[in-house]
Structure 1
Amino acid sequence: MTADEQALVDAEAAFNRAMISNDPAKIRECISADWILVTPERGPIPGAAVLDAIASGTLVHDTMTKQSRVVRALGDTGFVTGRGHNTGWFRGDPISADEWITDIYRRVEGRWLCELTHLTPAAAPDEKA
């Protein structure tokens, strides 16, 4: 693994920790101002809407884990794809997800910031993928 790829793995871990902190300021440290979340339920969601939902308590994350499968750094762009699991609450109801996640990063002033997160439900465990 290259130093840039390790830095992406570290950025991904920091992003996960920020999300379960439920602190929009900590999350903002890990994402670009234009971050987009793409979900199967709603398609592209502006990052500001996600942060607003977290700030209001509408969306709460209790756990978030990810096993990175593919990590690539291509100049000042990079991506991490892996299998993720998370739990929490949405509008007071419990949520749980098992999904494939791809985070696309851009290096800004020496730091990797997430530009886009794309979620795909994992139908069943696939140890070969």
Structure 2
Amino acid sequence: MIEDEQALVDAEAAFNRAMVTNDPAKIRRCISADWVLVTTERGPVSGTAVLDAIASGTLIHDSMTKQSIVVRALGDTGFVTGRGQNTGWFRGVPISADEWITDIYRRVDGRWLCELTHLTPASASDETA
């Protein structure tokens, strides 16, 4: 794995760890100011809306893992795609997800920051890449 790709893997791991802290300040260090989350339920959701939901306790993550990772660095842009599982709470109701996740990163001042996260539900029959 080339150095930039390893840096993306490390950035992705840091992003996942930050999400399960449920600490918006820690998450903010992993994402750009314009980060967007794309979901099947709502389409594009602003990073501000996601962080506000976390700060208020409306959205809580208990676990977040990713496997079968595909990583590409293309200059100052890169992406990480993998099959992810997470658990937590939304509005007091337990949630869990099994998804294909693509995070698009941009290198800013030598650091990889996530610009966009796109979620696609996985099915039990999906083969891993």
Q: TM-score range by the shorter chain?
A: over 0.9
> Can you list the C-alpha shifts for 1:23-67, whole angstroms capped at 9, x where unaligned?
000000000000000000000000000000000000000000011
- The runs of 5 or more residues in structure 2 that have no matched partner are none
User: Residue 6 of structure 1 corresponds to which residue in structure 2?
Assistant: 6
Give me the whole-angstrom Cα distance separating, in 1, the residues matched to 2:78 and 2:116.
11
Structure 1 match to 2:20: 20
What residue number does 1:52 align with?
52
Identity of aligned residues (%): 85
Whether the aligned pair in 2 keeps the contact of 1:65 and 1:85 (CA below 8 Å) is yes
**In 2: Cα distance, 1:85 partner to 1:13 partner:** 14
The 1:91–1:14 alpha-carbon spacing in structure 2 relative to 1, beyond 3 Å, is: same
Q: Does 36-45 or 59-68 show the bigger shift? A: 59-68
**Aligned Cα root-mean-square deviation (Å):** 0.9
5+ residue gaps, structure 1, are none
Aligned length: 129
Name the SS of the counterpart of 1:52 in structure 2.
Answer: helix
TM-score, normalised relative to structure 2:
0.97
TM-score, structure 1 normalization = 0.97
Tell me by how many angstroms 1:125 deviates. 4.3
